Chains A and B, each alone.
Chain A
Amino acid sequence: MMRLAVLVLAALLAAASPAAAQAPLTAVRVPGSGPIVDPGAGVWRAARGVTVPMLPQTVTAPQKPEPAVNTLTVRAVHNGGWIGFLVEWRDPTLSTRIVVDTFGDQVAIQLPVDVTGPTPSPMMGNPGGRVNIMQWRAAFQHDIDYGPPSVKDLYPNAWTDYYPDEVLSATDARPYTGALGVENPISRGRASPVLDQMAEGWGSMTVKPDQHALGTGVWKEGVWRVVITRPMVSDDPNAPRLTPGVKTVVGFAVWEGGNQEVGSRKAWSPWVPLVVGAAAPARPAGATPPTGATGQPAGGRR
């Protein structure tokens, strides 16, 4: 009953969403091939930055009525094979260390799986209205850049006598490894800091068996610049087909770990119109370079 009420409300909100008033995001055709993962790459200068207002998630419990991030600046490009989104926001606190009372910074991009059908609920889809959610996590980025944190990394003064994996065979020690032992995908950032997922409504988020999303996040001077990229077309039935000329929608969610934002305690955007550009315009009107961009290729990470 509660779920139905939520869906009805979500549908109402979808209908009343300010998508029409929102400036559309155009994925500009750029030269090149392969994944677009570098937030400092020159290709972003071709794309117009769109400001996306972020709202507190207040439809379902639990909530964070005052999330820290109010706007994102988003750019999109594609090279015919991969589509990339550069998302930037101000975040004065770098949150990558996750212990009991700390949460990581995160950002997610949501696309309808069926880009030609009815628009799903902007709130993680609805039954029959499946969405593809690609979520970048600062903690995963940290795992990839610096290696997964050991107990000593998290607690420099920690001391233990020994662990099961030091005295038992790998098989016998496995029961002591918890979620790592059952390969819970959220335990570690592995090949990519971005989780490729699908959902059909609240609580239904599933990490897909095939991971196609890639990306990179860099935090510098209080600003996160995160790229999320995916193949425009794949054989994954739960991925959108984003061929040139497609007009669809895209949604965003952001979590400020330093403000204890996690799960449904987040800021989200209504749907933003998304156009997959057919060809590169000579010079996009009003194009501005992304925040902090120098025109140089990315000079490495933090």
Chain B
Amino acid sequence: MARVHNWQLGREMDFPYEARRPDRQFAMIFDTNKCISCQTCTVACKTTWTSGRGQEYMYWNNVETKPYGYYPLGWDVHILDRLGVQPLDGPVYQGKTLFDAAPTGEIILGYLPEDIDYAHPNIGEDDCTGLMPQGAHLSMPHMQWMFYLPRICNHCTYPACLSACPRQSIYKRKEDGIVLLDQSRCRGYRECARACPYKKVYFNAQTRVSEKCIGCYPAVEGGRQTQCTTSCIGKIRIQGFLGAPDAPDPDNPLDYLVFVRRVALPLYPQFGLEPNTYYIPPVHVPPPYLRQMFGGGAEQAIATYRAAREDRKLLGALLLFGATPEISHFFRVDGDQVIGYDAKQAEIVRVPLHEPPAVRELYDVKHRAYRTNIT
């Protein structure tokens, strides 16, 4: 066991390997408040990467409705149940990680889902927590609620999949932190599928080895964001790179949102993997659920997010979501616009902070029709 620093837990932790942070870390931020569960991202990933034989029920990108949607079935409640209740209060996590909780003879606490668990990718979709009784009214947080949770592999800083593979078939790239599974080296033991708490390694029964999200590395190497990001209808995503947690660059939109403003939070940080997809929590969901899922900073993140209208730099960073297919390495707010720059500081996109209102005539003379929506 090596001792490594996990900034999301605010402490050192045990990890089976000596691990060095990559030069920069592939990362993605999702604004859950904007996701409409259209599954365009899911289909974009599927048609790009997983439409072959044996990949029928394999979704490297999936979008599930919380709290009753899961893919595979019950993935998070199963592992939360096995980990047991842990203290989540305070800036330093005092509970056990999945590495701490490894049973004797195991590298990490995990479980292998059943085959049938992958057969219902849409289970629970649009299901609300309960019925609205007589007299129910709109309140914050909502009395009954649900929200959409898009998920890809987290390209974790301390990947469970990598640490559990007895053959070192999984590796984390030094140049961008993308976690890849070597298709010629894997022997189909499924230790990775058992270990990954997010269940983001899949078994292909045709090839008899495991497969996972590749972070669209051919696109990323060319300076473009991933397929699931650029295809996102709701413009809820941004993909780029995180720098060092202890030396964030406030001009990098991901560093700014994750490290500086802490408005985007990791998914189940208590597992101890330092996952690198980050979520702006849904504003209408009861805080206890959000604290369990995104850690103690959930309420503060929502407060920061809700004030973004008055916060020009934050607003600028949020408006880069879905604004360009290229990776924004830097950004700057200039007047009433936010500008995104590529790695060489060349401008790639310019977005107005405020859409100028346009009012059209109620009656369209050309088409001889009344307009029902004139703003």
Contact = CB atoms under 8 A, between A and B. Distances in A.
A62 interface: yes
B113 A100 contact: yes
Contacts of B102: 61
Given A62-B166, A100-B114, A187 B106 contact: no
Nearest to B209: A179
Contacts of A63: 105-106
A64 B118 CA distance: 25
Given A58-B105, A62-B106, A101-B113, A164 B51 contact: yes
B193 interface: yes
Contact of A187 (B16, B166, B208): B208
A182 B185 CA distance: 10
Interface string B103-144: 001110000111100100000000000000000000000000
Interface stretch (B52-60, B297-305, B345-353): B52-60
Contacts of A150: 53
Contacts of B326: none
A98 B188 contact: yes
A277 to B, nearest CB: 35
Contact of A177 (B52, B168, B189): B52
B186 to A, nearest CB: 7
- Size category of the binding interface on chain A: 35 or more
Given A62-B166, A99-B115, A164-B52, A178 B205 contact: no
Contacts, number: 117
Contact of A62 (B56, B164, B187, B206): B164
A143 to B, nearest CB: 10
A179 B205 contact: no
Interface in A178-198: 178-184, 186-188
B43 to A, nearest CB: 13
A176 B186 contact: no
B176 interface: no
Nearest to B168: A203
A299 to B, nearest CB: 30
B157 to A, nearest CB: 20
B48 to A, nearest CB: 10
Contacts of B168: 203
B207 A154 contact: no
B375 interface: no
Interface in B180-213: 183-191, 193, 202-209, 211
Main secondary structure on chain A at its contact with chain B?
loop
A151 B1 CA distance: 41
Contacts of A164: 51-52
A222 interface: no
Nearest to B205: A99
Given A151-B206, A176-B52, A178-B204, A101 B166 contact: no
Between B16, B189, B191, B206, the greatest number of chain A beta carbons within 10 A of the residue's beta carbon is seen for B206
A99 B1 CA distance: 32
A93 B114 CA distance: 18
B163 to A, nearest CB: 10
Contact of A179 (B164, B184, B189): B184
B208 A263 contact: no
A232 interface: no
A102 interface: yes
Contact of B207 (A184, A205, A260): A184
A27 interface: no
Interface in B43-100: 50-56
B51 A179 contact: no
Contacts of B203: 99-100
Given A101-B115, A184-B184, A184-B209, A61 B107 contact: yes
Contacts of B209: 178-179, 184, 186-187
Nearest to B189: A263
A122 to B, nearest CB: 17
18 contacts: A2-B16, A58-B105, A60-B166, A63-B105, A98-B205, A99-B203, A99-B205, A101-B113, A101-B115, A151-B56, A160-B56, A177-B207, A181-B183, A186-B186, A186-B208, A202-B166, A263-B189, A263-B191
List the 10 closest A-B pairs by CB distance, nearest first.
A176-B52, A63-B105, A263-B189, A179-B207, A178-B207, A179-B209, A100-B115, A179-B183, A100-B203, A182-B184
